Structure 1
Amino acid sequence: MMPQRSMVATLDEGKVDAIFAPVDQGRQPGVAVAIAIDGKPVYRKGFGLAHMELPVVLSPSMRMRIGSTTKHFTALAYMLLCEEGRAGIDDPVGAHVPGLHAASRDATMRQLMGHVSGLRDVMAITLLLQGPSTPATDAELIDFYRTIDDRDFAPGTSWSYNNGGYMLLTAAIENITGQSLDDVLRERIFEPVGMYDTLLRRWDTDFVPNSATLHFRRADGRFTRDYMGMEVSGAGGIVSTMDDMLRWMKHMDAPIVGSAGSWQLMREPMRLANGISTGYGLGLITMPYRGVETLSHGGGVLAGNSQMIKVPAAGLDITIASNRADVSAADLANRVIDACVEGLDPVPEGKAVERRTGIFVSAANGRVVELSETGEMQLVAIDGGPPVPMRADDQGVLQLPDILLFCQQSVTFEDEGLGFMEFGHRHRLDPLDVVEGGRLGSRCGRYGSSIADTGLQIADEEGGPTMTMWGPQGSARYRLEPLADRIWKAISLGPIGAIGAILTFSEGGDRLSVTAGRMQALRFERTAGADA
């Protein structure tokens, strides 16, 4: 049944055109967009090139990667098996994916789909160890779960976005059905809904007809063909057209695929042990935007991104995909909501706070937060990740941009230190006296991990300290910068400079841990007989 409207959505084509004016050109890649009100398409346009080597403009009928928007399709495929009695939502993953280590096999399918399992994210580990361009299959990544002997956190106590969990979900669906996920999605979901241009594209190197090309933008402004090397399946492998996505979003209002109970579970945000709502159900995000509830899931890939967002109270559906890495589909979608929906809450002005710079560390868990500024923006980098602009709310608390609010991370200035809040968990961080020109000395050498066939090498080279990490399929190199005597920052020397990490050495130097964004304290120990 179509949800009853309580707000008014209208389309002013000129206002929406103005939103996309910066990408309305014929020299570079751009975006495709489709908008519907009460299930009826009212705006369908493409801006920019589908491929920089061909004079072909993007179109809403062209296949584009939708990235992690894939996740709720994969979750629905599993829920269909639950409806048939072939699986249970609280089954342990080990019941459907054999051979996993005890640290991973008892996580439930519900926890995987809701990102509360606490399992290590093997995609994040692979990106760190081997870089984004190294070919690796789903099966090879899942093999990590056979030797990983710890978790990021106890199940249900926190939330951490986990692509590896959806790889396990994919393997479970395939083991239960005896079919590929490609066929399950096509036969059980896409064809019944009439999404005939939508399919699972596991490899960026595959040729798929009527597809836009992805364009990565490097720091010097050049567009390049830096694609994801690994296989991507149920975590983010779908390609679709914006026309097909409108069909799907209309279907979500009155589903013919999936029971009412399954859809309720998918939409309903999970709650942690501390009572905090994650805002995330089973592959779908429920969050307010300017006072109105939205249902969404975006998708980021190495050289593009997408956003699918519904405003049920206004009957508004928006789907946008970008084939360039430097344009945010989620931000554009929010601006479309601004232009189309009447009666939204005013944009909060926030409280003016003095911007700060410095590096801060938590004595409790080793988390490192780096503050910097550019222009009028306060930038915050967490555990070696890329700097993100944060703005103070009316209480002076630094909040993430609207498109990242679902991560539920905030920062407050407390005397000389910081307060860091994440899903109801508060941490105190104290300022770090940064060491200039530090040397690694006796800490140089090889270190091994409990994860099979992985390790790292620390070296003091002529050009400065470096780290090389490796996994079964490849390796990645990093430049090291000292933050303190035992805390160092790793910066990728590959094409994707945003990949970074924090190294923390033990007092004796025989052990170290690597933290990278959501991946907490991956342990390494000096290899016996390693040269210093």
Structure 2
Amino acid sequence: MNKFIKSSLILLLVAFSFLSIQAQHTPYDKILSDAFSSQPSGATAIVTKGGEPVFVGAVGTADIELSVEMKPEHIFRLGSITKQFTSVAIMMLEEEGKLNTDDLLTNYIPEYPIGDRKVTVAHLLNHTSGIKSYTGMPGFMQNNTRDYYEVDSLIEVFDEEPFDFEPGTQWSYNNSGYILLGAIIERVSGMSYADFIQERIFDPLNMTDSYYDDAQQMIPNRIPGYSPSREGIVNSNYLDMSIPYAAGSLLSNVEDLAKWNKAVFDGKLISKASMDKIFKPTILADGNEQPYGFGWGIGKFQGSKIYAHGGGIFGFLTKGIYAPDEDVYVAVLSNCNCAPPEEAADRLLGMAIGKSIEREEIKISETALKDYVGTYDVEDADSKRYISFEDGKLYSQRDEGRRFEIYPYGKDQFAFKGDASTLEFIRENGKVVGHHLVQLSGDKGYAKRTSMKIEMKEKVMVPDEILKKYVGKYELNPGMVLEIKIEDGKLMGAPAGQPAAELVASSNTEFAVPDFGVKIVFQVSDTGVCEGLDFTQGPQTIKAKKLDQ
């Protein structure tokens, strides 16, 4: 086909898909708009069936300062979706006889100090090496993001750090492992990581909108990324792309990602034997299974098998999901750390495979809502779920975790706002006796209703002179600042430009934000000066230093 005609047709198709977003003609459009239209930034998405696009769309703004509308062809940082490419590159080299994933790391990087530990290439791929992840080392991602690192210099950042655990005994997401994999690719192939990915993957697959990120290179359609702050949306902090390297340095757009996914599963790059290795769950030394293979997460969506990975990098959040049995692929890319793509990706996938998770709220009386209020013992766990009623709404809270509003969408069926799980209440002789928590995977967990009353902790009244010591700004992560202030006599927290929420005290130093499952403990010196805080949400605790005012 004449190159000019081909280019014109591509532009015409892109324009058509963009116009369809503006017109909001399909359920897919609505899902994308619902997820991102409240943000000043934007997002793109693609849905394919059998490798063919059934939806390509964009919403919002690509460049806020220039008021450029988002389009599907715009190019984003992928973040950790890069790990898929690194994994496949390793498998390509294994098929060529240049390495073996069962070999020790020191077969290829002999100077790496592992002692008598047997760290294999496979341990690096599936996050079980125990090597310290450099992105989690205190201060590194706060103080070094403008620095350029040669690969060996980046390895030296973490190679003398103590191991977190013995190889193969635990699973812990680890960016250092993928830096080492990038170094192995370079050493056994004789090519730079960037050149290998370009020449062995991007070029053969005609991924013309995919690159190894380079701030100096002129890249058409590359867009900026944004982060939330107390003042609103700001340009994300600078990050030299030598730092994420083989763990997160690639750029692409949704249409190229669809090409990539189809090529992998069509066997164009690696054999079925290699794919079986990649998509095999990790088995730890104690026999426990982890739902992660080599560069892909392994899970279920409403009973359907899925392979997925997300990415988070300065200014960008990304998600890709593939349902192999239905041959459906979804990718969602966002150019702001403020707008997670997971919910949109899940809803798009559900729509495409005929397992929609759209839940339309129905109206029932307050008296009927109160039927569900109570304490429920979660089966096979030392845990309770509390269903409470407040201001005409029902809320669900697991132990002291985040409190979610739930709303009815069917008889004895409730959906969570902000989460894809549902609750199905069970009755006997007309009375509610328990519920099933139905996960997005389709798995169900039972909880029995008890006669125990909901225990509401009394609010501790902290003296004003102590609260005033906590007022200030605390850096949770680069570009992510939590502001603590006093409003109407209440201690309030406003993270990253979000609406302020009240901090409820359980002691003079310990506070919680129940609706978000957040615990905050202020760190006060012997002299009574607040030096920082511990911010805990779920299993993760961040130590945040108080910034100078």
TM-score, normalisation: structure 2: 0.64
Aligned to 1:90, which of 89, 92, 102?
Answer: 102
Q: Secondary structure at the match of 1:282?
A: coil
* Match 2:159 to one of 132, 143, 146: 146
Q: Where do residues 391-410 of structure 1 align in structure 2 (5 Å cutoff)?
A: none
Whole-angstrom CA distance in 2 between matches of 1:31 and 1:345: 21
Map of 1:354 onto structure 2: 386
Aligned length: 438
Q: Label 1:186 to 1:501 Cα distance change in 2 as closer, same or farther (>3 A).
A: farther
**1:84-163 alignment to 2 at 5 Å?**
84-102=96-114, 106-125=118-137, 130-131=142-143, 133-135=145-147, 137=149, 138-151=151-164, 153-163=165-175
Contact 2:117-2:166 within 8 A present in 1 as well:
no
* Structure 2: runs of 5+ lacking an equivalent: 1-23, 362-371, 377-384, 389-398, 408-417, 425-433, 451-456, 464-468, 485-502, 512-517, 526-533, 543-549
Give the partner amino acid of 1:209: P
Secondary structure at 2:333's aligned position in 1? strand
Distance 2:474 2:85 in 1: 39
Structure 2: distance between partners of 1:22 and 1:143: 45
| Corresponding residue of 1:228 | 239
Give, in angstroms, the shift of residue 210 of structure 1.
1.8
* Inter-CA distance 333–127: structure 2 relative to 1 (3 Å threshold): farther
What's the counterpart of residue 28 of structure 2? 16
Kindly report the root-mean-square deviation, in angstroms, between the aligned alpha carbons of the 2 structures. Answer: 5.3
Query: 2:114 corresponds to which letter in structure 1?
Result: A
Amino acid at match of 2:160: T
What are the Cα deviations for residues 466-491 of structure 1, in whole angstroms up to 9, with x where unaligned? 9999xxxx9x999999x999x999xx
Q: Deviations over 1:415-443 (max 9, x none)?
A: 9xxxxxxxxxxxxxxx9x99989xxxxxx
In structure 2, C-alpha distance between the alignment counterparts of 1:48 and 1:224, rounded to whole Å: 16
Q: Distance in 1 between matches of 2:120 and 2:137?
A: 21
Runs of 5+ unmatched residues, structure 1: 1-11, 357-368, 378-387, 416-430, 438-461, 490-497, 506-513, 523-532
Which one of the candidate residues 240, 265, 275 is aligned to 2:252? 240
Seq. identity, %: 24
Cα distance in 2, alignment partners of residues 26 and 201 from structure 1:
29
Cα-to-partner distance string for 1:489-531 (whole Å, 9 max, x where unaligned): 9xxxxxxxx9x999999xxxxxxxx999999999xxxxxxxxx
Contact 1:293–1:311 under 8 Å retained in 2: yes
TM-score scaled by length of structure 1: 0.66
1:215/1:225 contact within 8 Å kept: yes
Residue equivalent to 1:298 = 310
Partner of 2:190: 178
Do the aligned partners of residues 393 and 236 (structure 1) sit closer, same or farther apart at CA in structure 2, a change above 3 Å counting?
farther
Match of 1:222, SS? strand
Shift, 1:19, TM fit: 0.8
Structure 1 partner of 2:56 = 44
Instruction: Name which structure has the greater RCO, CA cutoff 8 Å, separation 6+.
Output: 1
**Corresponding residue for residue 283 of structure 1:** 295
The 1-side partners of 2:435 and 2:116 are apart by: 40
Instruction: Answer yes or no: is the 8 Å Cα contact 2:36–2:339 preserved in 1.
Output: no
**CA distance in 2 between partners of 1:390 and 1:374 (Å):** 11
Segment of structure 1 superposing worse, 213-222 or 231-240: 213-222
CA distance in 2, matches of 1:177, 1:503: 50
| Structure 2 CA distance for partners of 1:326 and 1:31, relative to 1, 3 Å | same
Question: What SS class does the counterpart of residue 208 from structure 1 fall into?
Answer: coil
1:309 lines up with 2:341 in the alignment: no
Report 1:316-465 matches (<5 A): 316-343=328-355, 353-354=385-386, 371=401, 373=403
